[in-house]
Structure 1
Amino acid sequence: MKKRIALLLLMSTLLLVPKDTNAWGLLGHRIIGQIADKYLSKKAKKEIRKLLGNESIAMASNWPDFIKSDPSFNYLNSWHYVNLPSGLSKEDVIKYLETDTIPNIYNRIKMLAVDMKNPNTSQQQKIMDLRLIIHFMGDLHQPMHTARKEDLGGNQIKLMWFNENSNLHKVWDENLIDYQQLSYTEYSNTLAFATPEQIKEWQGTSVQESIYESYQICEKLYTEIRPNDKLSYKYNFDHIGIVESQLLKGGVRLAKFLNDIFE
């Protein structure tokens, strides 16, 4: 176990290219991490600095996607999402999340938070836990990470994005954000202006409720497209506001989740 953790930490310093589609892509996760940093408590910032050193939350956010390059860590793959069938109510979703024992984004986040609060958890393990939490809290705000098992979360719904091959999952992971042609710092500086009322509302939302929000968006996205649709300017115009809202909520809620861990 110690050797595996050491190898994971070493790999985090390498510029690896993930084989699978990244959730939110590199930019999306870094935007969420950069926004979260603005809303961290002083204590949380101090404790995170002890664990990550000079590595920012934004840069740590991509680590779980980088390690997909090594098949020995495939056990983490299902931790990035939860597959939900169509037509569920809020009560149905919450019940499913609380009773499903298969590793998924919800029960793994809960497990990682408990592990981080355990005084017997080693520092190396807490570094790994922290990087995973940062990433997965971002993932659960990407609507297609609450999508359907039968089409692999939209990966099998083939589309065209400005005349390039894509799919519904990738459009929401990468294409919409990359199309704005902003760096993660430019994007986060543009978005990170939540009102006190918004912060209170969003940080009062449970992880289950946040997943249900994403699920509601996901359900609507399925109704709007057909396989092989050609998406371009109009799709961007109609949906970029949703993307940016999810990124901002993700950052604000990630900060609260970390603040609670280190309280």
Structure 2
Amino acid sequence: MKLLRLAFALLASVLAAAPASAWWEWGHETIAGIAMHEVRPGTRAAIRQLLRHAPELATPTCKLRTIEDASVWPDCIKQLGERFSYAYSWHYQNIDICKPFDIKTPCRDGNCVSAQIDRNRKLLADKSLPARERLMALAFLVHFVGDLHQPMHAGDHGDLGGNRVKADYGIAQGRINLHSIWDGYLAERAISTPPAGVAGLISEIAPAGRAAEAAGSTEDWSRENWQIAHDVAYGGLYGGDPCLPAPEAKPVLSNAAIEAAIPVVRKQVERGGVRLARLLDEALG
């Protein structure tokens, strides 16, 4: 047991030191993989055609050969400094979970994830634009739909989406916070739980319910994930009302809370995939 605790602590330290990226890679790539499976054949062909224009973006250190690459490209380009710094605030929307839902304030001037999903879907659909611009819109759209379905990108409590909330993940200790728990630890646990991966999650999506899961607007999806942030992310960590003063001691996401969150995370990954497929079909089908 002592060795197991040491291994978890080492893993937590290494992963926490890595550059932050929503859902880490696996969550984004799984959502993209579900979407690529769900889109119409014509949409799939159009995506592959756009991806052939990747050299025109001149980001050789951030590959863009597949839809899975596209799903993480907007995080990769953060390393390119000022060239893409304008997009930094597009990955999230800090809507306070302890106040009435309000999407207008954090999305003023379009600088939030839901507004950028809508914007990039329109750019992707505009065939008068150069392929280079439409490919960039494709990558942003794929990534931002993934971001929005990570609840810590849809709700917060004055703590940068949980980035300032230090917490332990079960027995794992180290430089961990509530945001990184949902970005990586829970996502990987949820996606790897059998039936695992893209095929496993697709198998759980009832054919009769696909249209209902894909329905709604970005505001609807924002409200849904904001509520999950309140009820499951913050609520699960604090074991009660997340709007009460935070305890002085560093909170621990218990094994029971982890088990309760796994099906929630799986459902949001599945929803992200089918909703992204719908947007891609609307833009390219």
Query: Taking structure 2 as the reference length, what is the TM-score of the superposition?
Result: 0.78
Q: Report the residue type matching 2:236 in the other structure.
A: E
Between the aligned partners of 1:61 and 1:214, the Cα distance in structure 2 is 19
2:73 to 63, 73, 76: 63
RMSD, matched Cα: 2.4
- What is the Cα deviation at residue 45 of structure 1? 0.7
Q: How many Å apart are 1:182 and its aligned residue?
A: 3.8
Q: Deviations over 1:90-143 (max 9, x none)?
A: xx445557x722511121122212222223211111111100100001110110
More deviation in 54-63 or 215-224?
54-63
Q: Distance in 2 between matches of 1:78 and 1:123?
A: 25
Counterpart residue number, 1:243: 265
Structure 1 residue 173 corresponds to structure 2 residue 183 = yes
Cα offset for 1:22? 0.9
**In the alignment, is the contact (CA less than 8 A) between 1:19 and 1:68 conserved in 2?**
no
CA distance in 1, matches of 2:103, 2:130: 32
CA–CA distance in structure 2, aligned partners of residues 180 and 241 of structure 1 = 7
Maintained 8 Å contact 1:163/1:230: no
Provide the rounded CA distance (Å) in 2 between the counterparts of 1:186 and 1:55: 24
Identity of matched residues, %: 30
Unaligned runs of 5+ in 1: 1-17
2-side partners of 1:87 and 1:230: how far apart?
A: 21
Listed as ranges, the matches of 1:153-192 within 5 Å are 153-161=161-169, 162-179=172-189, 182=192, 186-192=196-202
In structure 1, C-alpha distance between the alignment counterparts of 2:152 and 2:145, rounded to whole Å:
14
Q: Within 2, Cα distance between the matches of 1:126 and 1:85? A: 33
For these two proteins, the number of residue pairs brought into alignment is 242
Match of 2:141 in 1: 133
User: Deviation at 1:153?
Assistant: 0.8
Bigger mean CA deviation after superposition, 22-31 or 149-158:
149-158
Q: Answer yes or no: is the 8 Å Cα contact 2:95–2:103 preserved in 1.
A: no
Task: Look up the match of 2:221.
Answer: 210
Q: CA deviation at 1:252?
A: 0.6
Q: 1:109 aligns with which of 108, 117, 120?
A: 117
> How many Å separate the matches in 2 of 1:117 and 1:229?
45
Deviations 1:53-89 (A, max 9, x none): 4932122211111111122122211100111123455
Q: TM-score, normalising length from structure 1?
A: 0.84
Which is greater in Rg? 2
* Equivalent position SS for 2:176: strand
Contact 1:19 1:69 in 2 (8 A): no
Give the superposition deviation at 1:207.
1.5
Query: Post-superposition shift, 1:232?
Result: 4.8
